[in-house]
Amino acid sequence: MSLLQPFNKLPSLNTANILLVENEEQFQQSLADALVEESSVIVNVRLAKSLPVPTENETSRPRIDLVVFIINLTSELSFESAEASLKYLDCGYFLGKVCFLVTNARSVSVPAERLDAVRKLAALFHCPLLFVEDQTADGVASAAERLLTILKVAAGHVPITTSLYMSILAQCTVPPDIDQPSFD
Amino acid sequence: MGDATKRLLQRLIRRTRIQMLKTTLEKWDRLTLAQRQSMVFIQSKSAITEKLLSICEENEWTVKHIAELEMIHVMDNPNQGMWYAFRLMDPEDDAHSVELMQFKEQFKSLLHELVRHVSVKIKKHADEAIWIRIAWGDGFSQPNHLKPTYVVHYLQTPFVFVTSITSKQKPLLSQALTVSTRHQDLKNANLSGRKLTAIRDLLMQQYPQVFPTNFPGHTAENNQMESNPRRVKEQAGLEADRLRMAHKAFGDGMLPELESAVYELETKFNGHANGTMTDREQPFRCVVKFTSTNLLESLRQCASSGIVSTVTPLFSSIPRSGKNYFVITNKSHGSSSKTSNITEPQILDSKD
């Protein structure tokens, strides 16, 4: 069983590599197109349905700077698949090189427990949790922009900042009364 | 003008859209030029109904004329109402040389012999199908044109599609059809749906078929080469495998738009949680129904997106056998049935 390692390869010049993991394989396509258009940095996007990644690609795969798990809140399978994929990452990734992206959080059919469960998961691993909108072009563009800020830090392109510093600022926290029933 | 004629015409106008009504009337071609010009189709439906009723009085149309109009309308919009497929069995030697005129005369005369009052209209559609409209009466009453049965048959094939027929009328239709097409029996083909075009394409296999090959083409890899080199799929091999499996079961072209599939289970209860149910000897009866706007396409996408890990024979038997109603029972073993092994379910034809 091969874990994805954060530092076992050499980085390339002016390049940032990102891995998008999504069970439905829908949003990652449009997000990848938006990310690749960035001009100041060469962005390589790898797409996967779940981890572990196949070992055949080991030699051709560059060093992954940021792993993003895309969870569709309306589907329980999406959350479970993301949770199951977490164990195939080396623990070095959890120092700021993992990010959770959540779509459809405003949908009526989402049970509140699932959102709480995602928040607890993100807080447990000290990772940032972003809420994005995937249906419109504007939503995809703004999601790509936010991801690029985190990616540039994780790839070391921003001076005086490392992903560990960023994670202290950007990590998800749960309020202490998250398990109490809310008033609505 | 008869009351029945008026009611039929009113019902027809009520059920059709104004644009459709215009094209149907043009096809029917029984309005004079003056009448056609006087019909303004922008008015409300009640105004149009009044106008048409008055034209009907003028031209002295009978119920037969209106029935013809209704038939033209249904022939152009076959995707309404529930259609049931049947298959003619055991052809005799001259079944392949049945001709249109011969079939028409025989069918009409047979049906008139069987039922005292019946009104039969036969038309040939552009795509070689024969459409038959039957209004049933009985020994005492005139044919009821408000509940006609439509039958579509492709000559020299064993396929028949029927809509709105009661169980009393079915044996009469069956006898007339079997004798006039020189077969022995009419059997239920276990296929039904609202769209005639879909069930016809499925049963007669008029959609892109799957042919097993030893050397499949490499279309998936070619697509990968063309896309952006900076955007790479990690699990492309697995994805290609899933796509291949889906295409093996369903093909890669347009699929007929089947709307539902029904599985009736008569298997023993096999769950572990409930002891009382498992101990029962009688089979557990349960009906599972799948519905969708395009069922076969959604099953294919289930397989290619990985929601289903393999295409079970339950799903792949829908396009293979052209049915959408299945009865599943356990395979019976000769040895003792006290062992609690899970027996293999098998798909049977439904009864009748």
Whether B71 has a pLDDT exceeding 80, the answer reads yes
List CB contacts of B266: < 8 A, sequence separation 6 or more. Answer: B283, B284, B285, B327, B328, B329, B330
Whether B241 has a pLDDT exceeding 70, the answer reads yes
Q: Which residue of B has its CA nearest to A45?
A: B231
B 224-283 residues with CB below 8 A of A? Answer: 228, 230-235, 237-239
List CB contacts of B53: < 8 A, sequence separation 6 or more. Answer: B6, B9, B10
- Structure pTM? 0.77
Label the pairing between strands B325-330 and B345-348.
Answer: antiparallel
Asked if B306's CB is within 8 angstroms of A43's CB, the reply is no
Integer Cα distance of B156 and B91 in angstroms: 10
pLDDT score of A34: 92
What residues in B contact A43, CB-CB < 8 Å?
Answer: 230
Asked if B232's CB is within 8 angstroms of A49's CB, the reply is no
Q: Is the pLDDT higher at B226 or at B301?
A: B301
pLDDT score of B343: 39
Asked if A42's CB is within 8 angstroms of B231's CB, the reply is no
Q: Is the pLDDT higher at A40 or at B331?
A: A40
pLDDT score of B204: 87
* Interface of chain A toward chain B, CB-CB under 8 angstroms: 19, 24-25, 32-33, 36, 42-49, 53-54, 56-57, 61
ipTM of the complex: 0.77
> How close is the nearest chain B Cα to the Cα of A180, in Å?
33
The arithmetic mean of pLDDT across residues B131-142, rounded, is 87
**How distant, in Å, are the alpha carbons of A167, B32, B229, B237, B266 from that of B241?**
38, 63, 21, 6, 34
Label the pairing between strands B325-330 and B260-267.
Answer: parallel
Integer Cα distance of B227 and A169 in angstroms: 37
- Best of A12, A46, A78, A80 to disrupt the B interface (most B CBs within 10 Å) is A46
Name the residue with tokens 């006290």. B338
Whether B219 has a pLDDT exceeding 60, the answer reads no
Whether B317 has a pLDDT exceeding 70, the answer reads yes
How many Cβ atoms sit within 10 Å of the Cβ of residue B79?
Answer: 12
Closest to B316 (Cα-Cα) out of B269, B256, B216, B248: B248
Asked if A44's CB is within 8 angstroms of B230's CB, the reply is yes
pLDDT tens, per residue, chain A with 184 residues: 578 888 888 888 999 999 999 998 889 999 999 999 988 999 999 999 988 887 778 888 889 999 999 999 998 999 999 999 998 898 889 988 999 999 998 888 888 889 999 999 999 999 999 999 999 999 999 999 999 999 999 998 999 988 888 888 888 888 887 777 766 5
Integer Cα distance of A56 and A54 in angstroms: 5
Asked if B231's CB is within 8 angstroms of A36's CB, the reply is yes
Residue type, B329: T
Q: What are phi and psi of B273, to 5 degrees?
A: -75, -35
Q: Please tell me which of the candidates B231, B235, B238 has its beta carbon nearest to residue A32.
A: B231
pLDDT score of B221: 54
